[in-house]
C-alpha cells in the first residue's frame, strides 16, 4: 500500500468514533432492516461486514473522507483486526435474521404465485367485471 494511503488510513482510524461504528443499524431491528433490503421481488443479501461498512461510510462522510479505497481498507482493518469476535457476531446475527425474514417472505410469495397459477377452473362470479378480473388472466 502506498505511503500516502497508509497515512490517510491511519489518520481516519485514529479519528473515527468507534462507538458509532459498533452501533447496530435500526436499533438491532431485523424487520426494518429486511424491509429496507427488499426491492420489489428481489432482496439484497446482507452481511455483518456490509452492515458495519455502512457505519464506516457514515463516519467517513463526517470526517470528509471520500476515497472509496480508503473506506474499503478501513472496513477490512476494523472488521478483521479491531473488532472483537462478539462485535462481529452481533452484526452477523442481525444480517442473518434480516436475510431469513426476506427468504421466508420470498418463499411465501412464490408459494402463493404457484398456487394461483394452478387454478384452471373458471371462477364463478356475479358480474362481468368479476368474470373478466378472475378469469381473464392466464399464467403460462
Residue 72: per-residue pLDDT: 97
Using CA atoms, how far apart are residues 86 and 89, in angstroms rounded to an integer? Answer: 5
Quick one: pLDDT at residue 67?
94
- pLDDT digit string, tens, across residues 75-130: 999 999 999 999 999 999 999 999 999 888 866 566 666 666 666 667 777 887 77
Query: Which tens digits make up the pLDDT trace of 21-77?
Result: 999 999 999 999 998 888 766 778 999 999 999 999 999 999 999 999 999 999 999
Rounded to 10°, the helix 3-15/68-77 angle is 60
In the prediction, which pLDDT does 77 show? 97
- C-alpha count within 13 angstroms, C-beta hemisphere, residue 112: 6
Quote the pLDDT of residue 5.
Answer: 75
| C-beta of residue 89 within 8 angstroms of C-beta of residue 99 | no
Which of 30, 37, 44 has its CA nearest to residue 91? Answer: 30
Query: Where are the domains positioned within the chain?
Result: 3-107
The helix (run of H) or strand (run of E) holding residue 42 is strand 42-43
DSSP-assigned beta bridge partners for residue 42: 39
Amino acid at each position: 500500500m502506498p505511503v500516502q494511503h497508509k497515512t490517510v488510513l491511519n489518520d481516519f482510524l485514529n479519528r473515527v468514533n468507534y462507538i458509532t461504528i459498533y452501533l447496530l443499524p435500526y436499533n438491532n431491528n431485523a424487520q426494518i432492516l429486511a424491509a429496507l433490503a427488499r426491492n420489489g421481488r428481489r432482496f439484497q443479501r446482507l452481511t455483518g461486514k456490509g452492515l458495519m461498512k455502512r457505519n464506516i461510510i457514515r463516519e467517513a462522510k463526517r470526517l470528509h473522507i471520500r476515497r472509496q479505497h480508503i473506506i474499503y481498507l478501513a472496513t477490512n482493518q476494523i472488521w478483521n483486526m479491531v473488532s472483537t469476535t462478539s462485535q462481529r457476531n452481533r452484526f452477523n446475527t442481525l444480517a442473518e435474521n434480516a436475510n431469513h425474514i426476506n427468504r421466508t417472505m420470498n418463499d411465501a410469495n412464490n408459494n402463493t404465485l404457484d398456487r394461483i397459477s394452478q387454478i384452471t377452473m373458471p371462477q364463478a362470479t356475479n358480474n362481468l367485471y368479476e368474470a373478466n378480473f378472475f378469469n381473464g388472466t392466464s399464467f403460462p
